[in-house]
């Protein structure tokens, strides 16, 4: 069995490839349908051992060049599912960051935003698909809480979707034509690593505290927005706010970056799980944000779309009424001047909770994607 | 806290509704039947002198395995005072319960006569996967844990099952299947993971019965 990476160069080659992908028991991994194949678009095609020679000679006959991806060991990829429908270790994500920016040098740039307590790099990808002047930007961060694995999975999904569907999907094309997007897949790499190696339920970062028995600060309580009012001053608590606002290298790195780029960043989205909620500021106070009605309208539309397309129920509203979480990154970003600031809680609603099975990744990510696209388009509408 | 008509989407109503979910699972939960909270349709709350607070709720409950939704009306009373007493729940739902007797009997027979007793860890596993054979025991664990969650719920908690850390079937003379377990529960409000040791029994006729439940301190890391 093999997975071939093929880039057709002429329309004729595209047609042949379309044909091949519907025969010989091959499975098309990328793009999602032969319909989306065009010249110069990379195609990933799974070819079972028994058809390999046939397919190979067909490609060679038409001068279609291909490379072999890693060999699969007899497992049907339709049960293994694609790369994006699996959870990945921190090393694999770093690898992916490297490959993605390397494979898309004009559109994707890796940016070092800072480092974690244990000195792991915090890498964001900057997606820049057009060079229209005076471009605004959107920031999406994932993995602030280590055990929320669907969150980094979504950041990877979003980047992959952007690269695959730019110029095919009207919405993402419009968004990427008008905005750059910064995507930080793992804001808390030390915590994330820890959930893979020691404790699947870890939430905080891995910095030591005054209490030798307790490690970690809740990074989403460490931002300077009504800091520690209603979070916990106790190091052993899961919602420990830290010794002072931005005491943690991870939250400070993000805050520094946003401060530096606040003139261009107009949207902030933080991805979490679970609960299925689309939230906006404030969580740290019952006071309403200046543009509360606008923000409400945006998440309402997003929730309605998700209901319509996926029959999934997402609650929406200002954080304080829906859950309450002071010192959060979205409140802080809002006060910095990023008036379109959100926290999205992804699937599910408690059935699997943090342990969302891989079979649900696609659905969860598509729902989140719908939310992101909807709010982004509304922001463009309002700011143009 | 708010009194009178409550916004069904805000957290006070949702926390009270979650308690109803736990209650339904203690009464009706089994290896083949489990309820989730789909939606709060309406809610009101009132203080009852100094003794506590009562919520009246209309909810939509979702039977997860048959994928059927149904409306329930419920009352949840949170008593005041120390030591904290558990909430008191009354609930009635529209539809009759799906018949799961045949499946439950089959499972029961399989593990009753079996000389090799069930023993498993980490359900679901870190990835979220559950072996098909273990699914009924995952459901059963959630039903059993609902006794803990019902007992521990207040207006300032929102519990869900996080993971079955360990479940072991024990030898027993009586009719029921007996299990010793370590359950991990998640409280959304404090974000804590609570570790509970739970000794419980189950049979198709008797349902889930808890013999012993004890919280154990979380290991520090």
Measured between beta carbons, the chain B residues lying within 8 angstroms of A202 are: 221
Q: How do the pLDDT tens digits run along chain A, 384 residues long?
A: 788 888 888 899 999 999 898 888 888 888 878 888 888 778 888 888 888 888 988 898 888 888 877 544 444 444 334 899 999 999 999 999 999 999 999 999 999 999 999 999 999 999 999 988 888 999 999 999 999 999 999 999 999 999 999 999 999 999 999 999 999 999 999 999 999 999 999 999 999 999 999 999 999 999 999 899 878 999 999 999 999 999 999 999 999 999 999 999 999 999 999 999 999 999 888 889 999 999 999 999 999 999 999 999 999 999 988 775 666 999 999 999 999 999 999 999 999 999 999 999 999 999 999 999 999 999 999 987
pTM here? Answer: 0.86
Interface residues of chain A, partner chain B, Cβ below 8 Å = 87, 194-196, 198-203, 213-215, 218, 236-239, 275, 313, 315-317, 321-324, 349-358, 360
Q: Which chain A residue shows the shortest CA-CA distance from B159?
A: A350
- Catalytic residue from among A345, A351, A367, A381: A345
Q: Is A53 a catalytic residue?
A: no
CB contact at 8 A, A269 and A372: yes
* Integer angstrom CA distances of residue A153 from A156, A225, B127: 5, 27, 12
Nearest to A215 by CA among A231, A197, A199, A196: A199
Pick from A196, A315, A358: CB nearest B128: A358
Nearest to B158 by CA among B11, B41, B54: B11
Fold match between A2-70 and A90-196+223-382? Answer: no
Neighbouring-strand partners of residue B36: B62
CB contact at 8 A, A302 and A312: no
b/e map A165-191, b = 16+ CB within 10 Å:
bbeebeebbebbebbbbbbbbbbbbbb
Q: Quick one: tokens of B29?
A: 């939960």
A90-196+223-382 adopts what CATH topology?
A: Aminopeptidase (3.40.630)
Domain A2-70 grouped into CATH 3.30.70.340: yes
Instruction: Give the C-alpha separation, B159 to B202, whole Å.
Output: 22
Instruction: Give the C-alpha separation, A29 to B61, whole Å.
Output: 38
CB contact at 8 A, A350 and B119: no
Nearest to A18 by CA among A52, A2, A41, A49: A41
Q: Which chain A residue shows the shortest CA-CA distance from B2?
A: A321
Please state at what angle helix A11-21 crosses helix A49-61, rounded to 10 degrees: 160
Domain boundaries, chain A: 2-70, 90-196+223-382
CB contact under 8 A, A355 and B10: no
Q: Can you tell me the ipTM of this complex?
A: 0.94
């Amino acid at each position: 069995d093999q997975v071939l990476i093929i880039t057709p160069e002429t329309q004729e080659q595209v047609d042949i490839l379309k044909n091949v992908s519907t025969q010989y028991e091959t499975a098309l991994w990328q793009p999602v349908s032969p319909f989306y194949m065009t010249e110069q678009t990379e195609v990933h095609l799974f070819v079972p051992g028994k058809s390999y020679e046939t397919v190979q000679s067909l490609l060679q006959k038409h001068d279609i060049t291909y490379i072999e991806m890693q060999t699969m060991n007899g497992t049907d990829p339709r049960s293994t599912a694609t790369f994006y429908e699996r959870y990945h270790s921190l090393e694999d994500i770093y690898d992916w960051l490297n490959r993605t920016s390397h494979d898309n040098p004009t559109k994707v740039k890796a940016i070092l935003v800072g480092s974690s307590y244990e000195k792991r790099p915090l890498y964001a990808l900057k997606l820049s698909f057009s060079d229209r002047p005076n471009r605004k930007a959107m920031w999406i961060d994932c993995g602030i809480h280590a055990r929320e694995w669907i969150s980094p999975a979504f950041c990877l999904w979003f980047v992959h979707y952007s690269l695959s569907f730019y110029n095919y999907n009207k919405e993402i094309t419009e968004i990427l034509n008008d905005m750059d997007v910064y995507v930080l897949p793992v804001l808390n790499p030390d915590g994330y690593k820890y959930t893979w190696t020691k404790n699947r339920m870890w939430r905080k970062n891995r910095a030591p505290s005054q209490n030798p028995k307790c490690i970690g600060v809740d990074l989403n309580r460490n931002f300077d927005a009504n800091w520690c009012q209603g979070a916990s001053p106790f190091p052993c608590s899961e919602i420990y706010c830290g010794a002072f606002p931005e005491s943690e290298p991870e939250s400070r790195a993000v805050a520094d970056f946003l401060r530096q780029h606040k003139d261009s960043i107009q949207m902030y989205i933080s991805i979490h799980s679970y609960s299925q909620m689309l939230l906006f500021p404030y969580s740290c106070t019952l006071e309403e944000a200046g543009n509360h009605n606008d923000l409400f309208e945006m998440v309402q539309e997003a929730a309605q779309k998700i209901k319509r397309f996926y029959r999934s129920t997402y609650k929406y509203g200002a954080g304080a009424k829906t859950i309450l979480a002071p010192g959060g990154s979205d409140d802080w970003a809002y006060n910095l001047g990023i008036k379109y600031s959100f926290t999205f809680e992804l699937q599910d609603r408690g059935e699997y909770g943090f342990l969302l099975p891989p079979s649900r990744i696609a659905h969860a990510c598509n729902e989140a994607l719908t939310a992101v696209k909807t709010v982004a388009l509304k922001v463009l509408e309002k700011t143009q | 806290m708010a009194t009178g008509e409550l916004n069904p989407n805000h957290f006070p109503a949702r926390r009270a509704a979650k308690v109803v979910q736990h209650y339904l699972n203690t009464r009706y939960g089994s290896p083949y039947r489990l309820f989730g909270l789909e939606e709060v349709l309406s809610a009101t709350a009132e203080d009852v002198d100094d003794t506590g607070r009562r919520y009246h709720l209309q909810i939509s409950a979702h039977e997860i395995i048959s994928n059927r939704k149904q409306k329930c009306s419920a009352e949840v009373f949170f008593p005041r005072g120390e030591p904290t007493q558990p909430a008191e729940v009354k609930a009635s739902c529209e539809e009759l319960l799906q018949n799961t007797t045949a499946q439950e009997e089959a499972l029961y027979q399989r593990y009753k006569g079996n000389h090799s007793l069930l023993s498993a860890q980490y359900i679901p596993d870190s990835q979220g996967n559950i072996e098909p054979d273990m699914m009924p025991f995952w459901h059963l664990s959630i039903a059993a844990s609902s006794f803990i969650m019902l007992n521990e719920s207040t207006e300032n908690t929102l519990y869900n099952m996080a993971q079955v850390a360990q479940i072991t079937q024990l030898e027993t003379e009586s009719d029921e299947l007996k299990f010793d377990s370590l359950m991990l529960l998640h409280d959304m409000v404090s974000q804590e993971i609570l570790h509970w040791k739970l000794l419980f029994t189950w049979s198709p006729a008797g349902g889930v019965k808890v013999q012993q439940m004890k919280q154990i301190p979380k290991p520090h890391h």
